Structure 1
Amino acid sequence: MSVEKFFDRGDEEKQFLLSEIAKCPNPEKTLQNFKDCIARINSQKHYDLFANSGFFTVVRSNTETDTRTETFEIIAKHFGL
């Protein structure tokens, strides 16, 4: 999901990346390379490394709904804010 829907949101930073990719000599190949990198970083192997690192992590729910408020509450509680 993180690979295929990465550019679906209107985040300014993501749209900037997409516009820069479009300027490349071969935008399709560049976009596929970018997606391949996201897939590697978001692989189960890397997920498990982060999850088992001992550091505080927040796992967002796997839904289409906005989870920012819920995520902020989890972080605030953890850090005592």
Structure 2
Amino acid sequence: MSKKVYKVITAVKSTEDFKNVTVYGVTLVINGCETGKIADISSEREFVEHIVNKLNSHDVSEVHFYDVVEDFTARQLPM
């Protein structure tokens, strides 16, 4: 049986408007090897932690990883 865990990752990005902004993403680690990553989801760590907690608590399959994260981020955007 494979050991799968989703984790919060951190990166620093710069844009024309903002310099050195910390952003958070998610990595998928299976049996100690990174097998998937979305590097820049949000600058709000709590939001990304919420996603990671849901991914892990519901044991989301790696084939649905990107779709689930996309669904979460789409709900966060203002209409």
TM-score > 0.5 by shorter chain: no
TM-score by length of 2: 0.30
User: Which of the two has greater strand per residue?
Assistant: 2
TM-score by length of 1: 0.30
Pair member with larger Rg = 1
User: Which of the two has greater helix per residue?
Assistant: 1
